[in-house]
Amino acid sequence: MSLLDRITIDTEICHGKPCVRHMRWPVEAVLDLLSAGMTAAEIRADHPELESEDLAACLQYARLVVSGETLAHVA
């Protein structure tokens, strides 16, 4: 399983925003926590449904978006 397989887009979840594993965890929410200075360990402690690979997948997805690519381009 590729890290990007953890990022899903479903119009029925969070208005179609990219989310973590079909959960109501938009990528942008995870990035907000990281950019606020929370460590991966702190995020996982507060939100045990998230896994280390989920956080890495969010960062990888953000890199793709910034580079001009999308999940559809690499699938």
CATH fold of 3-70 reads Arc Repressor Mutant, subunit A (1.10.10)
Mean pLDDT of the chain: 92
pTM of the model: 0.88
Both tokens of 37, joined, read 């200075």
Q: What is the pLDDT of residues 44-60, one digit of tens each?
A: 999 999 999 999 999 99
Domain boundaries, the chain: 3-70
- The C-alpha R_g of the chain, in whole angstroms, comes to 12
Residue 73, pLDDT > 60, answer no
* Integer angstrom CA distances of residue 72 from 8, 47, 48, 53: 11, 28, 28, 20
Give the pLDDT band of residue 1 (cuts 50, 70, 90).
low
C-alpha–C-alpha distance, residues 15 and 1, integer Å: 25
For the stretch 25-45, pLDDT in tens is: 999 999 999 999 999 999 999
Q: Which residues contact 32 (CB under 8 A, 6 or more apart)?
A: none
